Every structure is written in C-alpha cells, then in structure tokens.
Amino acid sequence: MAVFLAEPYKIKVVEPIKVTTREYREQAIKEAGYNMFRLKSEDVYVDTLTDSGTNAMSAEQWSALMHGDEAYAGAASYYRLIAAAKDIFGYGFFQPVHQGRAAEKVLFPSFLEKGKYAIANLFFDTTRAHVELAGARCLECCNPEAADTQLKAPFKGNMDVEKLEKIITEKGPENIGMVVMTITNNSAGGQPVSLQNMRDTAAICQKYHIHLNIDAARFAENAMFVKLREPECKDMSIKEITRAFFDLADTFTMSAKKDAIVNMGGLIGVKDEEAPYILKIKANCISFEGFYTYGGLNGRDLDAMAVGLYEGMDENWLRYRLATMEYFGERLDEYGIPYQSPAGGHGIFLDAAKFYPQIPYNEFPGQVLSIELYKECGLRGCDIGSFMIGNDPDTGKQLKSINEFTRLAIPRRVYTQTHYDMVIEAINEVWKKRETIKRGYRITWEPPILRHFQATLEPIE
C-alpha cells in the first residue's frame, strides 16, 4: 500500500478555491476553445497545468521581499543574488532575467543562427522555440528507454551519447551551435540525468569543441535523484552533486520559477568570467529585459530568488517532493493506470496513448485526456505530446512526439494529500471510461510558434 510522506512544512496562509459542476466545466472548456491554457484559473479546482511560478513561497522568502533594493542599477538585491549563485554553481558570471525563456532569448543568439543545429536529450517547448527563432534547428538524442513508459529505469532522462556523437559527425561539428542537457528531462516525463551521463556528454562536446549548456530549471530535483540512485553519489550533498554537474558545462539557462520556488525569475550562468559573449548577453538583456543588474525583475524578486535557491536544495524538502510523486505513482499502479514510470521529479505524466490507442497522434490523445480530466473533477493538466511539439518549421507538417503525455505538474508547497487522492480517484474514473472516447480534436486556429498556448480546437465528431 502506498504511504504518503508527511510534509516538512506548516501551512500559514490559505486561498479558497471554487467547487464547480460537470455541466459548468463542460461549458468552460468549450468557451476556452478546448485549450487548457485559456481556462480561467477561478474555474479550476486543482491546477497542475505547470509547476512554473505556481509555488508557495516560504516565510523566509516573503521576509526577503522586504529587503528588496529597487535601484535601477547596482541594487544590493542583485549582489545578494549573485553571491548565492556563485556559492551554489561556482560560475564566473550570472545574468538575472525574468524567466527561463528570457534566458534562452538572451543567450542562444550567441551560438545559434541559420544553418546551425542544437542537440538536446529532449527540448521542451520554449527551448525548441528559441532555437528556431534564432534560425537554427533542433535535433534530439533522448535515452531510448524513455519511449517505454512501463520500464522502470533509473535515468530515463539521459542523453543517448552514441546517437549524439553520430549526429555530430554526420552534420559536422562546425554546424552544431550547442548541446543542451535538460535536467530533469521534462519532455521525457520529469526523468533524471545521471552524473556519469553528464560526464560522457561533456567529453563528447569537449572532443568536438562544442558549447554545452544545461537547462537547469529542475537542477535540485535532478541532484536528489542522483543522490538516491547513483551509488557513487549517495554520500554527496545536493550542493556537491550540483557543482559536479555544472563544472562540466559552459553555461546554463534557468527558470527559477521551479526549483528556486519563486513566482517569477530566471538566470543565465557563464563559467568563464572572461567569455567574450558576456558582452552580447548584457547587450541583449538591456534590449529585451532591462539593465543587466535587474534583468526585468524587481529587487524584491532578486532577493526572494537568492533565498529560494537554497531552500530548493534542502534535502528534507526534496525527499518529500520526490516521495509525493512516488506515492502518486504507486496509487496509479494499484489501479493499473499507465504513466511514465518511475514517477518523475515534478509531476505525473499519464500515458495518453495507452488511455486512447484508438486516437492517432494528430488528434492529440494527450489533449483529449487533459480535457476529460478537467470535465471529471476540475483538474487542469496539459498535453506534453504532439499537440505541444507542433509542426515542422520547414515543411509545416505535424510532428509526432516520442510520447503522448498528459502532464500533471505539481506546484511546490501548495496542495495536500487529500487533493492528490481526489485527483487519483478522478483519473481512475476517466480510465474506466476510456473506451467511450472515439475521436480526438482538430485545430481550428493556431499561431506559428508555441501554438499550444493559444490555439483553438474543436472535437472531431
């Protein structure tokens, strides 16, 4: 029987949430064009659309807000953040930005342009978009184990290093603008990357003189998985594991809205403080974000991030975080419900293709399952599959995702076991009725980039 690990925190402030009827929810999702991002949050009971910026800050973080120095340039808050980042990551230069996609927008044009490629263990949505906006194209080398959702392997987020080297030699090292290692691997189901795999990937990048960037949004969760699953790291601290990873890369881009447990913020890190592209980073930041010592953030946001970076690495917190996902997965196992197994670090990724094998990828089974779960109990998740991945930028043809997931991304320090148990029962109800769903959805309007945020859909009758 699944056992829930008690929370390592107390609840100090609460927010009421609205209870709705199925009839109400069916009308709400219709008015939203069957797009989960277009639902009003007040019409959602449990919101697992994302774990990005949806977290509950601690008393220490709220206290840090009051220290915020709102000077336009050279604020004390900036220097407190830089000191924390240097202590944790050990890099020579850091650039705050307002969130992860801003980090990509500011950094990527220094390495990517038309005719270049970026290679990743898997790209998430905004990272893929910013590679393409820079004129380059995406190639992926995900661990093939990630395609088998029922396989319980410890590091399904790993880079396929043999495929990586093969692609580099085929395309030519001079045409590879960067390699991106995403930790944890979000599109693979929040699956971790091992330290040994990071070493192997770095060795290939060094061999061919290719820039290596870490997508570091969930670096602490990845480090905890490594501590628990990689024997050589079992006696290392989270900070020591983090430094071991980041020492192997040249740069990192981070959404601090995940493991730094803030509602807004991001970071770029550059190992070499003399790197010539730092000037380009600063120039892009000033143009797109704001002066480089605030990067589009209030001083109080910088202070909250400085505190949150440490809180996100607390081992008691991380053990609870991962144990919560494990509990969720074990409850689903009791019902025989398919998901990316073992459970990832930041959420449960339901295998929508196994829920609805009758629905082809271009009718978006992940979106179908998201909609059915919302109708059932007011749960908001999202498609991490072919609907999200979109169209080939050159041919316009719908791409097929490696998996068709419905992601339930769990906000940090927000919901309780009772919420999770309610959601699990609702998932089981939808699972039992899965054969009644015959068709999926078609897109009636979509923008050219990141369509899943805005597109309008309709059910196929």
Name the pairing type of β-strands 137-140 and 117-120.
parallel
> What DSSP line would sit under 365-432, residue for residue?
HHHHHHHHHHHHHSEE-EEESHHHH-B-TTT-PBP--S--EEEEE--TT---HHHHHHHHHHHHHHHH
Which among 371, 368, 341, 342 is positioned nearest to 355, based on CA atoms?
Answer: 368
* Angle, CA of 113, 168 and 100, to the nearest 5°: 50
Q: What's the CA gap between 391 and 395, in Å, rounded?
A: 8
Torsional class of 190: left (φ above 0), alpha (ψ -120 to 50), beta (otherwise): left
Q: What's the CA gap between 354 and 183, in Å, rounded?
A: 26
Q: What's the CA gap between 184 and 146, in Å, rounded?
A: 13
Q: List residues with catalytic annotation.
A: 72, 124-125, 215, 217, 258, 452
Q: What dihedral angle (degrees, nearest 10) is formed by the CA atoms of 204, 209, 215, 216?
A: 80
Neighbours of 230 (CB within 10 A): 18
Residue type, 225: F
Supply the DSSP symbol for 64: H
